[in-house]
Amino acid sequence: MFEKAYTRLNVKRLSVGITNLPSSFEDFTIVHLSDLHVNAKTPLPALEELVLNLNALEIDMVALTGDLFDANPARIRPHLERLSRIKHPVYFVSGNHDLLFTCKELAREIEMLGFTFLDNRIITLKRGDEALQLVGLSDAFSRYFGIKRDAQKLFSALDPHTPSILLAHQPKDIRLAHTFSIDLQLSGHTHGGQIYPFGYVVRLFQPYLQGLHVKNKTQIFVTTGYGSWGFDFRFLSPSEVVIIRLEKAEHAD
């Protein structure tokens, strides 16, 4: 019920079915990580444990869906150094806190970590002749930071015959995704409400609080995230790091 921030590593597993998933991407495995909210008070041993556990997993990639930074990067260099030890490919999209604390330097900071900066980009992963598309959106508040994101133009560049996964910090971006060929959206931002009953307030602004949902042809998974913000605890909304395994839809649990 009550959880002090960064004291538990709650790993969960989820299977998600994709209708047109190529056979070579069966069992493609993603760790969905979000909302670390790293600041100077974030305990280094917690990040070391996180990285150690991630590196012990047999996975294909990490999807880091925003709000990594909750301080100026210069104040959290030791924390960032720990995170740079993740051995798996990490694909990152910005959250509102990342833009607030880094903005113009965000892309450089992410590249220094060895992660792939996916804001407003499409990357195609190949296995032989088969492919999987990763597409990323900068945070919904981008315009307040002078960042232009043209979702329609970006999504129109997707190959409709190739399955696609969208990384977008805020769940409400599903309103942009569901009219295009997006099979799965991964989001965070909500913290699952973090402290009951704040989730009811979050639901006034976001269509989904946590878990797996479907809107038209797009599935969306919203994680409660790993860290905390404002208060250093959670109540009736535990943190999570989620291992997502892709399957053909007819085989999914």
Q: Which domains does the chain have, with CATH numbers?
A: 2-251 (3.60.21.10)
Task: List phi, psi (to 5°) of 215.
Answer: -125, 110
Per cent of the chain over pLDDT 90 is: 85
Predicted local distance difference test score (pLDDT) of residue 2: 77
Helix and strand tally (H, E) in the chain?
7, 14
How far apart CA 113 and CA 87 sit, in angstroms, is 11
Contact (Cβ atoms closer than 8 angstroms) between residue 233 and residue 17: no
Query: Helix, strand, or coil here: 180?
Result: coil
pLDDT in tens, 9-36: 999 999 999 999 999 999 999 999 999 9
pLDDT at 196: 84
What was the pLDDT predicted at 15? 97
Length of the chain: 253
Query: Comparing C-alpha atoms, which of 113, 90, 74, 103 is closest to residue 31?
Result: 90
Mean pLDDT by 10 residues, the chain (253 residues): 89 96 97 98 97 98 98 97 98 97 93 98 97 97 92 95 97 90 96 87 92 94 95 88 93 48
Query: What pLDDT shows up at residue 201?
Result: 85
pLDDT score recorded for residue 137: 98
The pLDDT assigned to 232 comes to: 87
Asked if 214 contacts 220 with a C-beta cutoff of 8 angstroms, the reply is: yes
Residue 148: which of 175, 176, 120, 174 has the closest Cα? 120
Q: Note the pLDDT of residue 253.
A: 47
pLDDT score recorded for residue 144: 92
H helices present in 20-168, as ranges = 44-55, 77-83, 96-101, 106-112, 151-156
For residues 246 and 21, the answer to whether their CB atoms sit within 8 Å is yes
Residue found by looking up tokens 């099979």 in the block = 183
